[in-house]
Structure 1
Amino acid sequence: MSKAFTKEVEGGDVYDDLPDRPVSPHNLVTPKGLEMIEAELARLHRDHAAALDADDRPLLAKINRDLRYWTSRRATAQVVEPPTDVSEVRFGSTVTIEREDGRRQTYRIVGEDEADPSLGTLSYVSPVAQAMMGKQVGDAIEAGNAEATIISIS
């Protein structure tokens, strides 16, 4: 076949097929987490319109990929209200632990997309959060390479 009848890839076409972001099967969210997902979707829709106006194909490809991810996360989100029973650690609990060296750390157990340990939130599927689940005040847990004790749950 003559090369005249084949389509050559144009420079911008390579951006059309960015691989999708991996979507976790775990998608419990707090009410605040759902608000965060919806805010991210709204921002991406605004950015999409601006990238269309600017004919910025690389940016459009990135935004489209992120829109697919966040649309999927919104569709599968299972909102869990904060627990009212603070007798044991559950999704949405705020837990303070004391490490062997005396350091106290407080974490709120949240969904994957809203977790940021530096801000005091842990994903409910993280090892430390999993070690806390179902435990009560006074129970010991594995926290990294050491033990810690749960000193409060709220």
Structure 2
Amino acid sequence: MSKVPLTLRGAELLKAELHRLKTVERPSVIAAIAEARSHGDLSENAEYDAAKERQGFVEGRIAEVESKLSNAQIIDPRSLDADGRVVFAATVELEEIESGKTVLYQIVGDDEADLKLGKISLKSPVARALIGKFAGDVAEVQTPGGMREYEILDVRYE
């Protein structure tokens, strides 16, 4: 499996989730299964079935998070030396040329992307249009509503 880019913060969040899954969720599911078993006949025990289903989900998520962390290429934006170029983990201030509206985005991995927090996926059309450009450049982005142009006002590594 190829390396997956992940910001330092994204890696910390995944590690925290893995810790919670292993120390809180897994023991909780084990206790729920034991409780359901104590009720007797497992063939018609909905609590047991629900607990086993939950166990499958928790174990699957643990395996998924461990895999992502083991294949992660963790990038700390503060340690980047990209000479003002837009790269993964950079925070970019943009102005939409037509409306004059400014936005601030950080380019992150798929798992970290959250538009409400200003984090866009490296694979998004906006991020793909920005990568490699510098402050002062104009990026053209094909959106469902048509072509949009953004001027890059600032590139930061924070």
Smaller-chain TM-score bracket:
0.7 to 0.9
> Displacement, 1:64?
1.4
1:120 to 103, 118, 121: 118
- Residue 58 of structure 1 aligns with an amino acid whose one-letter code is E
Q: Is 2:108 aligned against 1:110?
A: yes
Q: Which residue of 1 aligns with 2:40?
A: none
Q: Is 2:74 aligned against 1:96?
A: no
- Aligned partners of 1:149 and 1:115: how far apart in 2? 22
Residue pair 1:90, 1:134 contacting (<8 A) in 2 also:
yes
Residue pair 1:27, 1:112 contacting (<8 A) in 2 also:
no
- Aligned partners of 2:140 and 2:20: how far apart in 1? 39
Q: Which residue of 2 aligns with 1:32?
A: 9
Residue pair 2:3, 2:73 contacting (<8 A) in 1 also:
no
Aligned residue runs from structure 1 range 1-154, under 5 A = 27-45=4-22, 46-55=24-33, 56-82=51-77, 83-99=80-96, 100-143=98-141, 144=143, 145=146, 146-154=148-156
- Residue 14 of structure 2 aligns with an amino acid whose one-letter code is I
- Corresponding residue SS for 1:102: coil
Residue pair 2:93, 2:102 contacting (<8 A) in 1 also:
yes
5+ residue gaps in structure 1?
1-23
TM-score by length of 1: 0.79
- Corresponding residue SS for 1:113: coil
- Corresponding residue SS for 1:109: strand
TM-score by length of 2: 0.77
Q: Indicate the RMSD between aligned Cα atoms, in angstroms.
A: 1.6
- Aligned partners of 2:88 and 2:101: how far apart in 1? 23
5+ residue gaps in structure 2?
34-50
Higher strand share: 2
Give the share of equivalent positions with the same residue, in percent.
Answer: 33
- Which consecutive segments of 4 or more residues in structure 1 shift more than 3 A? none
- Residue 47 of structure 1 aligns with an amino acid whose one-letter code is E
Residue deviations 1:30-86 (CA, integer Å, cap 9, x gap): 111110110111111120111111111111111112112111101101111212445
> Displacement, 1:26?
6.0
